[in-house]
Amino acid sequence: MFEFKVTHQDDTGARTGEFVTPHGVLETPVFAPVGTAATVKATQPRDLVELGASLVLSNTYHLYLRPGDEVVRDMGGLHNFMQWQGPMLTDSGGFQVFSLSDSNKIDQDGVTFKSHLDGSKHRFTPESSIAIQENLGADIIMAFDECPPPDNHEYVKRSLTRTHPWLLRCIEAKKRDDQALFGIVQGGIFRDLREESAKFMIDLDLPGYAIGGLAVGETKLQMHQALEWLHPILPQNKPRYLMGVGTPEDLINGVLRGVDIFDCVLPTRLARHGTAFVKGGRMNLRKAMYERDERPISPDSPISQYSRAYLRHLVRSNEILASVLLSMHNIGFLINVIKDMRLAIRENRLQAYADEYLSHY
Amino acid sequence: MFEFKVTHQDDTGARTGEFVTPHGVLETPVFAPVGTAATVKATQPRDLVELGASLVLSNTYHLYLRPGDEVVRDMGGLHNFMQWQGPMLTDSGGFQVFSLSDSNKIDQDGVTFKSHLDGSKHRFTPESSIAIQENLGADIIMAFDECPPPDNHEYVKRSLTRTHPWLLRCIEAKKRDDQALFGIVQGGIFRDLREESAKFMIDLDLPGYAIGGLAVGETKLQMHQALEWLHPILPQNKPRYLMGVGTPEDLINGVLRGVDIFDCVLPTRLARHGTAFVKGGRMNLRKAMYERDERPISPDSPISQYSRAYLRHLVRSNEILASVLLSMHNIGFLINVIKDMRLAIRENRLQAYADEYLSHY
């Protein structure tokens, strides 16, 4: 279980691979839509299957607070609860504790925080994060870490003195052998710290490595640099997961730099704001120019039967179907970019694909 | 076109039938989910097909205001706009003008009203209602009428002096021959007025007859009485449409009294409030008792793969998927009741079916 095999490697260093999980073999690169509260917002699992989704992420922080990880466990785990039969991934809750909760307080042992739902007080430690994730039962689980602001060398360095021991505690706490625990390489925008963090984790021979602390305020150039530093260091035979990314451009730049797994709320969040991914940018369907536009968003959209005029009407009328259909479009859009890249890698033309695609931005 | 054939008649007088429309043959009795603004809320057309929906209603008042009936016409009509390929029905806008708009003012020629969206001033007449419905392009369209409070004999009688001449004007104004114009029998809870209204319309030999002004505050007994007065009067060879109804019990009581067509927003509205139809009542999925309930709402639900526990979680989390799934359940529920009645009529056992079903309420 959890073998990862590189099936092709392109001249750029980008690779296709297969990752074996208890719920099926993941073809990489892969984009995972995010099902925060055990639902990819506005999307039925069967529609996700049809869109070609293979991996779904869900959030430990949210499910711990509601309905409670023990409820999910008692209902047969996350797969059964939300009726997603393919591979799943949960994060550790660390990121949300800092970004969503009130009055969080970190110490060497863990984090105390208040729920964003009702202000109630809670505490996460490496051990509790693993226990929660074992209750949830995803195929891939994440080490509990701190996600620091990326540009303060002193703070990021001190943060590693928490994140690294916490990883050891996560490994120690883990009981289930049908879940792959990924370490999360931190280190902000600093080469020395990224390398230090990666080396610490590589020595532990984990089944996969996440790259955390990016897409949190640094520049695109800084993100690309961090990936380039890690690309030659991280082991070839383990999957690499760039957390919380992203846009079509980010996926392409990530794959070019050796990333295998991505996740992001962007496709469903944009959908709820009436916005669709299109090659070269985004289409705001609220605009008056689409009032009588009979064309689909794009001819290859999974919702190409619907006109821009109709989608505009749904968006303006705050109809639920607007979120449903645009979520399908946006998720399908990113999955298609990923599929195109898998094919380009196999045909050793990823650089040409990327150059052409990125020239539209 | 628009032939209606009774295919079976049960001892109760209830009937199954076939109504030929430009978008297919409707099997009756039929329940039409309501797509107010050219979308059955939270539901994809392909899901409606799978649920067995055959007729969809949309609202003239809403589409006139947004996106505008001329936009719908320019986009190829309502079927093409919303991608529903089966038969459709539009109402006349009369009911909404009175129930939704502000400061409406009726005269012998028509109604002036303010939009509930932006307060702008508009006017509907029989002629404009038909023109709008011709732009929308549904298979079945409705005469413009007044829907008066049902229990004031003097007012209801005076109202017929508007509704009846307006019907003549609608017939005169109608240009398209691929749309069936139904008259709407009014008369409130009064036998003399119901009979007067029905006779006026029957003489016009319309392709179908709607029964309006019910489900607007009268008792169930009064509704049943009105249907019983009309049952022997309305022609056997024309479909009868009871507007805005209803609940499973209402459908059964309507079919027992000769009704062929129903529509109601209830299934989708209840869904958005976290409530599911079940035999004998309604299930409020917000309740704590469902926290760990692994059962589906009912074994024959179209969403039986999902547990009550999961649906409760979605409802409590205000997730869009709650509305999506519960809308499917509730629409499927009413369609299944209708299907069961069609079978019971064919097997001449509708009374037994109704007695058993209604004993649960």
Per-residue pLDDT of A17-59, as tens digits, reads 999 999 999 999 999 999 999 999 999 999 999 999 999 999 9
Question: How many domains does chain B divide into?
Answer: 1
H or E stretch covering B69: helix B69-74
Q: What six digits make up the tokens of A67?
A: 């309905």
- Would you call B83 and A310 a contact, using CB atoms and an 8 Å cutoff? yes
What is the arithmetic mean of pLDDT over A311-320?
Answer: 98
Beta bridge partners of B304: none
Cβ of B66 within 8 Å of Cβ of A292? The answer is no
For the question of residue A11 being annotated catalytic, the response is no
Task: In whole angstroms, give the CA distance from residue A171 to residue A179.
Answer: 12
Q: Is A178 a catalytic residue?
A: no
pLDDT tops 80 at residue A103:
no
- Buried b / exposed e along A21-44 (16+ C-beta atoms within 10 A): bbbeebbbbbbbbbbbbbbbbbbb
CA A252 to chain centre: 14
Say if residues B160 and B147 touch (Cβ distance below 8 Å). Answer: no
Contact flag B81-A294 (C-beta cutoff 8 Å): no
Q: How far is CA A176 from CA A3, A59, A132, A140, B274, in A?
A: 17, 19, 12, 11, 36
Whether B43 and A319 lie within 8 Å, measured CB to CB = no
Task: Supply angle C-alpha B214, B215, B216, rounded to 5.
Answer: 85
- Assign residue A249 the CATH number of its domain: 3.20.20.105
Whether the pLDDT of residue A303 is over 80: the answer is yes
Q: What is the pLDDT of residue A220?
A: 96
> Mean pLDDT throughout A119-147?
97
Contacts A76 to B, Cβ<8 Å: 294
Neighbours of A267 (CB within 10 A): 28
Is it the case that residue A72 has pLDDT exceeding 90? yes
How far is residue A168's CA from residue B326's CA, in Å, rounded to a whole number? Answer: 44
CA-CA-CA-CA dihedral for A80, A81, A87, A91, to nearest 10? -150
Average pLDDT, rounded, for chain A: 97
User: Does B293 fall in a domain?
Assistant: no
Residue A94 lies in a domain: yes
Complex ipTM more than 0.90, yes or no: yes
Burial (0-12, 13-18, 19+ Cβ within 10 Å), A242: buried
Question: pLDDT band at residue A127, thresholds of 50, 70 and 90?
Answer: very high
Interface of B with A (CB under 8 A): 37-39, 41-44, 66-67, 71, 74-76, 81-83, 291-292, 294, 305-307, 309-310, 312-314, 316-317, 319-321, 323-325
Q: Is B140 a member of any domain?
A: yes
pLDDT of residue B101: 74
User: Which pLDDT tens digit goes with each residue over A189-213?
Assistant: 999 999 999 999 999 999 999 999 9
Is A293 domain-assigned? no
Token pair 């958005």 in the structure block, residue? B272
DSSP per residue over B258-295, as a string?
A: T--EEEESHHHHHHHTTEEEETTEEEETTSGGGTT--S
Does this model's pTM top 0.95?
yes
Residue B358 lies in a domain: no
pLDDT band at A356 (very low <50, low <70, confident <90, very high): very high
Bridge-based pairing of strands A261-264 and A275-278 is unpaired
Residues of A whose CB is below 8 A from B85: none
Both tokens of residue A84? Answer: 């997603």
Name the residue with higher pLDDT: B245 or A102.
B245
Looking at the predicted structure, is the pLDDT value of residue A234 above 80?
A: yes
The answer to whether position A136 is within a domain reads yes
Q: What is the pLDDT of residues B277-289, one digit of tens each?
A: 999 999 999 999 9
pLDDT band per the 50, 70, 90 thresholds, residue A98: confident
Left if phi > 0, otherwise alpha if psi is -120 to 50, otherwise beta: which for A24? left
Whether residue B75 and residue A316 make contact (CB cut-off 8 A), yes or no, is: no
| Assigned domain for B225 exists | yes
Residue A88 forms beta bridges with which residues?
Answer: A56
- Taking the C-alpha atoms of residue B354 and residue B341, their distance in angstroms, rounded to an integer, is 8
Give the dihedral of Cα atoms A106, A110, A114, A120; nearest 10 deg.
-150
Mutation site for A-interface testing, chosen from B313, B315, B318, B326 by largest number of A Cβ within 10 Å: B313
φ and ψ at residue B186, rounded to 5 degrees: -110, -165
Cβ contacts of B310 on chain A, cutoff 8 Å: 38, 75, 81-83
A337 within some domain: no
Calculate Rg over the CA atoms of chain B.
20
Question: Which residues of chain A approach chain B closer than 8 Å at the C-beta?
Answer: 37-39, 41-44, 66-67, 71, 74-76, 81-83, 291-292, 294, 305-307, 309-310, 312-314, 316-317, 319-321, 323-325
| Confidence band of A345 (pLDDT split at 50, 70, 90) | very high
Chain B residues close to A307, C-beta within 8 Å: 75, 81
Query: Which residues of B carry out catalysis?
Result: 91, 263
Q: Which of A76, A83, A319 sits opposite B306 (nearest CB)?
A: A83
Q: What is the pLDDT of residues B273-320, one digit of tens each?
A: 999 999 999 999 999 999 999 999 999 999 999 999 999 999 999 999
Sequence letter at residue A230? L
The H or E element that residue A155 is part of is helix A153-173
CA distance B282 to B249: 12
Q: What is the mean pLDDT of residues A74-79?
A: 98
Is A236's pLDDT higher than 90? yes
What stretches in chain B show pLDDT beneath 50? none
Listed as own residue / partner, the contacts of B166-169 with beta carbons closer than 8 Å and 24 or more positions apart are B166/B126, B167/B126, B167/B143, B167/B200, B167/B201, B167/B204, B168/B204, B169/B125, B169/B126, B169/B127, B169/B144
Residue B16 sits in which domain range?
4-264
Q: Are strands A180-185 and A209-211 parallel, antiparallel or unpaired?
A: parallel
pLDDT of residue A218: 93
Nearest CA in chain A to B312: A67
